Amino acid sequence: MLLLRSLVFDIAMYGLMVIVGILGAPLALWSVAGAHRTIKAYCAGVFWLLRVICGLRVEVRGEVPAGDVIVASKHQSFLDIIILAHALPRPSFIMKKQLRWAPILGLYALRIGSTPVDRGRRSQAMKEMVAHVETATEPRQLVIYPQGTRVLPGAKLPYKSGAGVLYDRLGKACVPAATNVGVFWSRRGRYRHPGVAVLEFLPPIPPGLPIQEFMRRVEGVVEENSDRLMREAGFDLATAAPGG
């Protein structure tokens, strides 16, 4: 029954993406604000489908950042992207370059100013990422996943330097974000488990720290609080695999 509910949800979620994406395209092309409104409408629809079909509720904790900041978030599944896109007033994302060509998703991601990154060209990708981000003229919440990929619950993957480079170059505060969404909806997992998926915004890290100190602090606070949220959801960290 759980697998059936999960399959029904996935079909409904992608069907909703097509419908909302097409209907909202004129609004999105007209203005960036229209793109944000369309994205938030889609996210709200996904939350409703999750609750009704799968018994999975979404909860956002902490003070939602509204200013011009960096958000360094734990990344466990597509669900944390949806939560951030809905909760933040004007989010944009550091995303892998291939997503530019994803139907509907790529259009809206680029429309809100997301930055495509080629993860296979590390030094060049870093320069291109910083150059693209620095062209932004409107205040926004720039979301980066410091581990660079989705991570299984309890897995320990290294934090990459991109978040530190952006923090140093932009001179902005960084709001860490922890989550337990992978307990209920893991990367490449077929099941959508019932429960409460939480994304929590943590106290901001002020600008001006050395990169190494910043990276140490952001990794410590995101990992510690993500572990806490996963334990709260009933996940046994002792049985987790060390890699993602």
Least confident of 3-17, 58-72, 134-148, 188-202: 134-148
Q: How far apart are CA 57 and CA 50, in angstroms?
A: 7
Contacts of residue 177, defined as CB under 8 A and 6 or more positions apart, other chains included, come to 62, 71, 72, 73, 74, 84, 199, 200, 201, 202, 222
pLDDT per position as a tens digit, 94-153: 888 777 778 888 889 889 988 888 765 666 666 767 666 766 667 789 999 999 889 999
Phi, psi of 183 (to 5 degrees): -65, -35
Has residue 187 got a pLDDT over 70? yes
Say what the pLDDT of residue 120 is. Answer: 59
Say what the pLDDT of residue 121 is. Answer: 61
State how far Cα 126 lies from the chain centre.
Answer: 19
Say what the pLDDT of residue 97 is. Answer: 77
Q: How far apart are CA 71 and CA 87, in angstroms?
A: 12
The two three-digit tokens of residue 9, written as one number? 């949800």
Say what the pLDDT of residue 242 is. Answer: 62
Say what the pLDDT of residue 228 is. Answer: 97
Top-confidence residue, 74 or 236: 74
What is the DSSP pairing of strand 195-201 with strand 174-179?
A: antiparallel
Q: How far apart are CA 226 and CA 224, in angstroms?
A: 6
Residue of 88, 92, 116, 84 whose CA lies nearest to 102: 116
What's this model's pTM, rounded to 2 decimal places? 0.93
pLDDT per position as a tens digit, 212-244: 999 999 999 999 999 999 999 999 887 765 665
